[in-house]
Amino acid sequence: MALSFLRENRFARHFTPRLALSVALIALSTFNYGFDNQGIATSQAMLAYKKQFGDFNPKTNTYAIPTYYLSLLNSLNFIGFAVGLYIGSIISARYGRRMSMFCMSLWAMMSATVLISATTRGQVLAGRILNYTYIGMELSTCPPFQAEIVPAPIRGFAVGTYQTSLLLGGVIINSVCRGTSGLSSNAAWRIPMGLFYLVPLTVASCVWFIPESPRWLLLQDREEDALRSLQTLRGSDPEYNALEDLELLRLSLVEEHNKGRYSDLFRGTNRRRTLVAMGMNFFIQATGSPFTAAYGTLFVQSIGSINPFNYSIMSSCINFTCCLIGISITDKVGRRPILMTGSVLQVIWLFTMGGIGTSANPSLVQKQVIVAATALSSASLCFSWDPMNYIVTTELPASRLRDKTQRVASIVNVVTNFLFSFFTPYLLNAPYANLGGKVGFIFGALAICSFFFAYFCVPEMKGRSLEEINEMFDKKVPTRQFRNYVLEYRVSDKVDVIEMEKVPADRLGGIPEI
């Protein structure tokens, strides 16, 4: 009975041991994103951190980090992020996905040293910009790498592990921060940042033991290596035919009528793909991610109804669980329903926060509702837009434009994140806008827009191979017909199609014909 279940379970059927280890190592690399994202955000609430980098207010007899510095600390890092996106995509495209992961891991260990040894605000800013260069390289490399090595039935789950690993990293470092928050010395925030060394050291040591992307190898005219990579990743499945899969990859590349230039991103059917990818990366940030991720702990501390370090652990655990649920069901229910459900939930929680935030003197219960709405808004985003963004953005592009599409979409992500990270502390705090909880109205309105974007613009691509997605875009299938569209040939007809459309050997190199 157990063997029967394993044969029917899509994870057990498609995740061969070597493929599972490869996906796991790629996912592990994103732990550092969670370490930085949550580690810095939670450290900002520590007394030792405020004493080292904040200003003393004699009227209140307390230390506080100035609003302008909070704004710079959580926005200037995206300068490094943008640089990392470009550098990472260049290395990934020219020298391979594994080389990009190796280089970014070495860089991460250098930037961690700058952060841990910081004694001035300027050094912290420099260290965070350098560390986000690593994170940008990671984003330009890891999701495409995962999408290119896993079969369609489990692609959503595999690519979604990028966000899940990020959130699990947040759970770990928030737990460490909770344990060190009572220390009076700088060890309170330096101990958590010591975790920044562990992941890149592990990835740099192990990355050469996983196969390179077969799609990247084929783009380099390395057919034999691509075949070997496919056999290594999926060869333990007795029903898998690597030659057939390789031939389909070759056909897909030949049939794409573009040269891989940036101008091609906005030509023909590629324009539609690029605009959807850009929209996804805009709304993931515009609906409140910078607010809850970068300022959530400080916001809860300012409300004063719960220990902010307990909140950070609670929120991280809920976010991780919701993300895990989202990626586990996306290959069954699809991307669109999850995106739209997440938008609706965000609207509810954000408008609840904004409505209660209009009270001049909120009661303890009202403060607790604002905290709960903040946590639930973040959880709704982690269930839907956070993981789905990486999945959809990696599924959309044509193979020859995947790196460039990822680059452009990520730039939109960076610019949007920068703007909201920069202005959010001014929206929250006095003597500026001082909106407090009323900021929920702004993000809630944008969440409404995200619902309509998902409904009218984002096609359903669950269960489709990247080659099938190419065909549907080439045929200009309407967005809402993607889910039920019937292709001219299905997987069971692959061999017949190949026989009819054989690619001449002198065009893409000679591999054994099937």
CA-based nearest residue to 202, from 24, 18, 25, 27: 25
Q: What is the pLDDT of residues 265-300, one digit of tens each?
A: 998 889 999 999 999 999 999 998 889 888 888 899
Q: What's the count of helices (H) and strands (E) in the chain, helices before strands?
A: 26, 2
Structure tokens at 99: 């080389």
Whether the predicted model's global pTM rises above the 0.75 cut: yes
Q: Which of 418, 413, 347 is closest to 386 using CA atoms?
A: 413
Determine the pLDDT at residue 12: 62
230 part of a folded domain: no
Please give the torsion angle defined by the CA atoms of residues 476, 482, 485 and 488, in that order, rounded to the nearest 10 degrees.
50
Question: What is the pLDDT, as a whole number, of residue 105?
Answer: 96
Residue 431: the pLDDT is 85
Q: What is the mean pLDDT of residues 315-341?
A: 93
Q: Domain with 101 in it: what CATH number?
A: 1.20.1250.20
Q: Which residue has the higher pLDDT, 54 or 32?
A: 54
Q: Is 244 domain-assigned?
A: no
Residue 309 in any domain: the answer is yes
Rounded-to-integer distance, Cα 289 and Cα 385, Å: 10
* Three-state DSSP class for residue 327: helix
Mean pLDDT of the chain: 86
CA 66 to CA 125: how far, in whole Å? Answer: 14
In a domain, 4, yes or no: no
Residue 179 confidence (pLDDT) above 90? yes
**Total of domains in the chain:** 1
Give domain status of residue 241, yes or no. Answer: no
pLDDT at 403: 76
For residue 126, CA distances in Å to 52, 76, 88, 486, 509 come to 16, 9, 19, 52, 47
Of residues 120 and 143, more confidence is placed in 120
**Position with higher pLDDT, 402 vs 218:** 218
- Please check the confidence at residue 313 and state whether its pLDDT lies above 90: yes
Does the pLDDT of residue 185 top 60, yes or no?
A: yes
Residue 514 within a domain: no
Q: Tell me, yes or no, whether 501 lies in a domain.
A: yes
Q: Which domain holds residue 401?
A: 13-224+264-507
Compute and round to an integer the Cα radius of gyration of the chain: 23
Which residues make Cβ contacts (< 8 Å) with residue 465, sequence separation at least 6? 151, 152, 248, 491
> Would you say residue 287 lies in a domain?
yes
Instruction: Tell me the mean pLDDT in the region 310-318.
Output: 93
pLDDT level of residue 511 (50, 70, 90 thresholds): very low
- DSSP H helices, 307-401, are 308-333, 335-357, 364-383, 385-395
pLDDT in tens, 396-446: 888 778 878 888 998 898 899 999 999 999 999 888 898 999 999 999 999
pLDDT classification of 509: cutoffs 50, 70, 90: very low
Q: What percent of the chain has pLDDT over 70?
A: 89
State CA 342 to chain mean position distance.
Answer: 16
Give the whole-angstrom CA distance, residue 506 versus residue 514: 16
The pLDDT score that the predictor gives to residue 471 is 86
pLDDT tens-place string over residues 431-490: 889 899 999 999 999 999 999 999 999 999 998 888 788 889 988 999 988 988 887 654
- What confidence tens digit (pLDDT) does each residue in 359-401 have? 988 999 999 999 999 999 999 999 999 999 989 998 888 877 8
pLDDT higher than threshold 70 for residue 506: no
pLDDT at 508 over 50: no
Taking residues 224-253, report their average pLDDT: 79
Query: pLDDT tens-digit profile of 74-133?
Result: 899 989 988 998 899 899 989 999 999 999 999 999 999 999 999 999 999 999 999 999
